[in-house]
Structure 1
C-alpha cells in the first residue's frame, strides 16, 4: 500500500510542478507580448539611421533622434497643447459628471434609468458618425482651429464614460451618511462636496486618469479641427513628422516621439496606481 500511495504523491507533486510551470510560462508569454512593442520602440529610438535596417535586440545608445526631436519647436509645442487640452477636458468632464452621477445615483426620478442608458449609448457611437455634426457645431461656436474646439469635442467622448463610472461608485456608497447630513440640514450640493466627495478619491483618481489618457491619445478630432502647427496635439504631430526629404520616413524620430509621449502616462499611473486599483475594484465585493 505504501508503494502506490508514494507513487500517487509523487505524481501529484509532478502535476503541481507542471501546472506551476505552465502558469509561469503563460504569464511570461503574455508579458513578452505586451512589453515587447514598447521595448522595440525604445531600442529603435536609440539607433542611428543606418543601424535601423539591421536586426538587433540591444540598443545602440544613439540619442540623436531625441536631440532632433527636442529641438523641434512644433513637437514641443504639441506636448504643451496636449497637456492643456487633456487636463482641461478631464477636469471639466469630472465636474459635470460628478453632478450628473449624484443626480442619477441618489435622486430617484422616473427617467433616471433611461437617461443612464442613453448616456451609455452615446459612448457606443464611433467618432466618424458625429464628425460632420461636430464640425458644424465647432464652426457655429467659432472654435475652429483653437484648443477650445478639442476641449469641447472631447467632452463628447469622455463625459459618458466618467458619468457611468462615477454613478456606479456613488450608488455603492452608504446612504446613512447622506441621511444623517440631510437631518442636519445640509443641502444636496454640500452633501456632494463635503460628505461624498472625500470618499470618492479612488474613483475620481482612476476615472480622471483614464479620461486624461483618452484625451491625450485622441487623433481624429485633433486632425479635423486643428490645421495650424502651433495648435496641434501630440498624436497629430507624430503623424506629421517628416524626414529631411519627402522620400525619407523618420522611423527613429517617430519611435522617440512615441516613447516621449508615453512616459508622462506611465509616471501618472505609477503615482496613482493604488488609487486606480481601489477605484476600479470598488463595489466589486459586497457584504
Structure 2
C-alpha cells in the first residue's frame, strides 16, 4: 500500500509539471495581451503592470480591425468548408477501404499517411505559380483545395480504423431485412461510426485552422487571407514598436473557438480516439 501511495504521488507530481509546462506559453500570451506597448521594451515583467483591453479593442474597433475581422471570417469559412468536404470524402473512402477487398488497399493507406507528413513548404512555390495562372490565387477555393491535401489523408487514415471496428454482420442483417447497400451504409454504419466521424472532423478542423504556410503564400489581400497569415502583417503604433500585445490578443481570440469545441465535446473526442485505437 505504501509503495502504491508513493507511485501515486510521483504521478501526481509528473502530471503537475507537465500541466505547468503545457500551459505556461498560453499564460504568457494571455498576460502579454493585456500589456501596453511600452511594457515590452527592455526587461518587462511577466504580469502586466497596468492591465488594459486596448489590444482586444484594436482587433474589432481599432487600427487592426480591417486586417483581423476579414481574416477571422476567412478562417472560419474556409476551414469549415474544407473540414466538411474532407470528412464526407474520407467517410466514403474509409468505408471502401475497410469494407471492400481490392488490390492496392494497403498502398492507398500508406500513400495517405505519406501525403499527410509530406513537407508543405516543398510544394508551395509550384502551387503558387499554378494558382496565379488559373486564377485561384488569393481566393477561398485556392486555399480550400490545399487544405484538403492536409486534412483528407489523415481523415482517411483515422476513419478507416473506426470502420474496421464496426461488426459487418449489422450491415448484412440490414440488407437481409430489405435495405439497399446505400440504406445500410447511411442508416446503420454511419450512425455507429459517428464518434469517429466527429473526432476526425475536429482533427481536420484544427489542422486547417492552424495552417500558416498556405495562408501566407497563396494570398495577398484580405479577400482570402486567414488569421495565422494576417498576424504577420500586424504593425505597432510606430515603426519602433513591436505589435506583441495585439498579436497576443489575436492569438487568444483565435484560440477561443478551439477551447470551446474541446470543452463542449471532450467526451465525444475521447470516445472516438479510444474506439479508433482498439483493434478488433
- TM-score w.r.t. the length of structure 2 is 0.91
Q: Secondary structure at the match of 1:93?
A: helix
- Report the counterpart of residue 261 of structure 1 in structure 2: 254
Q: How many residues are matched?
A: 275
- Report the counterpart of residue 61 of structure 1 in structure 2: 51
Distance 2:269 2:141 in 1: 28
The answer on whether the counterparts of 1:74 and 1:230 sit within 8 Å (CA) in structure 2 is no
Distance 1:262 1:101 in 2: 30
Query: Is the alpha carbon distance of 1:45 and 1:275 closer, same or farther for their aligned partners in structure 2, counting shifts above 3 Å?
Result: same
Distance 2:222 2:121 in 1: 23
Shift of 1:217: 0.7
RMSD of the alignment, in Å? 1.9
Shift of 1:144: 1.2
Shift of 1:193: 1.4
- TM-score w.r.t. the length of structure 1 is 0.89
236, 239, 244: which one pairs with 1:243?
236
Deviations 1:145-187 (A, max 9, x none): 1011000111011100000111110011001111112323433
The 10-residue stretch of structure 1 (23-32 or 165-174) with the greater mean CA deviation from structure 2: 23-32
Deviations 1:86-132 (A, max 9, x none): 00000000111111111111011122222222222211211022223
The 10-residue stretch of structure 1 (174-183 or 219-228) with the greater mean CA deviation from structure 2: 174-183
Residue 148 (1) aligns with residue 141 (2): yes
The 10-residue stretch of structure 1 (117-126 or 47-56) with the greater mean CA deviation from structure 2: 47-56
Distance 2:163 2:252 in 1: 37
Query: Is the alpha carbon distance of 1:155 and 1:283 closer, same or farther for their aligned partners in structure 2, counting shifts above 3 Å?
Result: closer
- Report the counterpart of residue 78 of structure 1 in structure 2: 71
Shift of 1:48: 1.8
Distance 2:28 2:165 in 1: 43
Distance 1:133 1:174 in 2: 44
The 10-residue stretch of structure 1 (260-269 or 180-189) with the greater mean CA deviation from structure 2: 180-189
Shift of 1:141: 4.0
256, 265, 270: which one pairs with 1:272?
265
Shift of 1:47: 1.6
Query: Is the alpha carbon distance of 1:48 and 1:139 closer, same or farther for their aligned partners in structure 2, counting shifts above 3 Å?
Result: closer
- Report the counterpart of residue 11 of structure 2 in structure 1: 23
Structure 1, gaps ≥5 residues long:
1-11
- Report the counterpart of residue 202 of structure 2 in structure 1: 209
- Report the counterpart of residue 132 of structure 1 in structure 2: 125
